[in-house]
């Protein structure tokens, strides 16, 4: 059964209107959990550790991944392929930046984008599902958001990002509010997507480990 939203109690609170979990960055970190390695050596080491861990997990379990990105512009794909040997699990990465690209490449209905918005949980979920099916991969990741400085709305401020991960037996989607400038928001979103994939992957396989 599809699970649209999965709770992460330590970082999320329920947004009752749409049953969505909203990310609340810790006050001590103006850029949320994932800061740029240039500004924080410890954060940089942590990011590299997460990428190394998911690299090893995917190879060990012989699983594959494909990514459909919008606001991150290919950064998530770049991070997942920065380690030698990533071709064993990385199948496809596309940047569907415009609405037309989402419609033509990922087959997301124009009516859904018009009703829910390109930056929405519905669009993110379909991006992840579609790219997984196109690539015939085990996991699909969909990322869509507002990196700023323009594009914000009263309900969706700059930094709003929806990240969805899709597999045959589990589907999750989160809303995040990342802080910082455009570059920080884009990088943090890409890193968070990889972190979520790792978390989902570990939970998914814990029962058979």
> How many domains, the chain?
1
Query: Does 100 fall in a domain?
Result: yes
| Residue 6 maps to a domain | no
pLDDT tens by residue, 22-39: 544 433 332 333 344 444
Q: Residue 151 has which token pair?
A: 């594009």
Is 4 part of a structural domain of the chain?
no
78-100: per-residue pLDDT in tens? 999 999 999 999 999 999 999 99
Nearest to 128 by CA among 62, 90, 173: 173
Query: Does residue 163 lie within any of the structural domains?
Result: yes
The residue ranking higher by pLDDT, 21 or 129, is 129
The CATH number for 142's domain is: 3.90.950.20
Asked if 176 and 15 touch (Cβ cutoff 8 Å), the reply is no
Phi, psi of 92 (to 5 degrees): -160, 140
Cβ neighbourhood burial of 114 (10 Å; 0-12, 13-18, 19+): exposed
Task: Specify if 5 maps to a domain.
Answer: no
Distance CA 85, CA 56 (A): 10
User: What is the C-alpha separation between 181 and 158, in angstroms, rounded?
Assistant: 9
Residue 7 lies in a domain: no
Percent of the chain topping pLDDT 70? 76
Bigger pLDDT: 48 or 112? 112
Percent of the chain with pLDDT over 90: 70
Range of the domain at 155: 12-203
R_g over Cα of the chain = 16
pTM over 0.85: no
The answer to the question of residue 3 being in a domain is no
Q: Which helix (H) or strand (E) holds 160?
A: strand 160-166
Q: What is the DSSP string of 19-75?
A: TEEEE---TT-TTTT---TTT-HHHHHHHHHHHHHHHHHHHHHT--EEEEESTTTTH
- Main-chain dihedrals φ then ψ at residue 44, nearest 5 degrees: -65, -40
Instruction: Collect all residues with Cβ–Cβ distance below 8 Å to 17 and sequence separation of at least 6.
Output: none
Q: How far apart, in whole angstroms, are the C-alpha atoms of residue 167 and residue 190?
A: 19
Would residue 129 count as lying in a domain? yes
What's the angle, vertex CA 164, arms to CA 159 and CA 167, rounded to 5? 165
Structural contact between residues 25 and 35, judged by C-beta atoms closer than 8 angstroms: no
């Amino acid at each position: 059964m599809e699970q649209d939203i999965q709770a992460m109690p330590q970082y999320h609170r329920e947004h009752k209107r749409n049953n969505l979990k909203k990310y609340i960055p810790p006050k001590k970190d103006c850029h949320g959990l994932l800061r740029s390695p240039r500004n924080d050596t410890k954060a940089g080491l942590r990011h590299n550790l997460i990428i190394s861990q998911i690299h090893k997990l995917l190879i060990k379990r012989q699983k594959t991944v494909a990514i459909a990105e919008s606001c991150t512009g290919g950064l998530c794909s770049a991070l997942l392929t920065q380690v030698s040997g990533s071709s064993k699990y990385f199948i496809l990465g596309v940047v569907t930046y415009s609405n037309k690209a989402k419609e033509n490449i990922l087959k997301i209905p124009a009516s859904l984008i018009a009703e829910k918005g390109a930056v929405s949980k519905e669009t993110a979920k379909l991006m992840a599902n579609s790219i997984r099916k196109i690539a015939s991969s085990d996991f699909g990741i969909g990322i869509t958001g507002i990196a700023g400085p323009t594009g914000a709305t009263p309900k969706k401020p700059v930094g709003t990002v929806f990240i969805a991960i899709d597999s045959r037996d589990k589907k999750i989607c989160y809303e995040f509010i990342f802080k910082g400038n455009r570059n920080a928001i884009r990088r943090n979103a890409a890193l968070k997507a990889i972190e979520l994939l790792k978390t989902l992957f570990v939970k998914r396989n814990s029962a058979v480990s």
